[in-house]
């Protein structure tokens, strides 16, 4: 078999594996909290937010900025964790190959 043929087979195999990993990642979630657990954000490893839970005691109408900061902190942390997990899983498939546009 020619080296081009081998390369095409390898590329097809990697593509199938990446699609499988992406499908698995879409169902995986990570969780982050802020304010000692006052705000909890669950993110999916496909880069979306699945849920936000706020302890009613964290709601202070006189200080909305504090609650906004807590939500932002928890959301950014959850998305960062999700991205790191996604990158690690995709890295296993690509075995260190630097393929532009992936993850």
What are the structural domain ranges in the chain? 3-94
Is the pLDDT score of 52 beyond 90?
A: yes
CATH H-level superfamily of 3-94: Nucleoid-associated protein YbaB-like domain (3.30.1310.10)
Is the pLDDT score of 101 beyond 80?
A: no
| Angstrom distance (rounded) from CA 95 to CA 77 | 26
Confidence label for 100 from pLDDT (cuts 50, 70 and 90): low
- Residues 8-43 have pLDDT tens digits of 888 788 888 888 888 888 889 999 999 999 999 999
Confirm if 74 and 41 have CB atoms less than 8 A apart: yes
Mean pLDDT of the chain: 87
Q: Which of 11-20, 24-33, 55-64, 87-96 has the weakest average pLDDT?
A: 87-96
């Amino acid at each position: 078999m020619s080296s081009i043929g081998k390369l095409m087979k390898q590329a097809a195999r990697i593509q199938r594996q990446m699609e499988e990993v992406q499908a698995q990642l879409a169902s995986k979630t990570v969780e982050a909290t802020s304010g000692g657990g006052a705000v909890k954000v669950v993110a999916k490893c496909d880069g979306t937010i699945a849920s936000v839970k706020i302890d009613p005691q964290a709601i202070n109408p006189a200080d909305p900025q504090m609650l906004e900061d807590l939500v932002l902190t928890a959301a950014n942390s959850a998305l960062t964790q999700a991205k790191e997990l996604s990158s690690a899983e995709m890295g296993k498939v690509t075995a260190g190959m630097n393929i532009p546009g992936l993850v």
